[in-house]
Amino acid sequence: AQSVTQLGSHVSVSEGALVLLRCNYSSSVPPYLFWYVQYPNQGLQLLLKYTSAATLVKGINGFEAEFKKSETSFHLTKPSAHMSDAAEYFCAVSGGGKLIFGQGTELSVKP
């Protein structure tokens, strides 16, 4: 069965600092992996997805993620945090036609 673990329920960074949100997956088949973002009082929005093409995936708002099969990881990064990046971020893996989500990581950005 597929599953996802997000390390750290809350991450705080300073504006301009590197953002690193960690995601590890478990999958019995080559996975499709996703990062979604949820801004306060809004629905979820796709940031980026990995579907077995390039291992480095670029998404919206300057975010990117690298698929590392050997580490079963799909960590999300952004070189320089902006105040508007404050939100909750969810990693997900496809399984049985649906997405299995992690517990989410809340990102805070300090001025």
- H, E, C per residue of 42-61: CCEEEEEEECCCCCEEECHH
Is position 96 an interface residue for another protein (rule: CB under 8 A)?
A: yes
What DSSP state is assigned to residue 62?
Answer: G
Nearer to another protein, 95 or 109 (CB): 95
Binding mask 31-70 for another protein (x = CB under 8 A): -x-x-x-----xxxxx--x-x-------------------
C-alpha count within 13 angstroms, C-beta hemisphere, residue 108: 7
Q: How far is CA 111 from its chain centroid?
A: 23
Report the distance separating Cα 33 and Cα 74, nearest Å.
8
* Number of residues counted as binding another protein (CB under 8 A): 23
Window of 12-20, 21-29, 70-78, 100-108 that interacts with another protein by CB under 8 A: 100-108
Binding site for another protein (CB under 8 A): 9, 32, 34, 36, 42-46, 49, 51, 90, 92, 94, 96-104
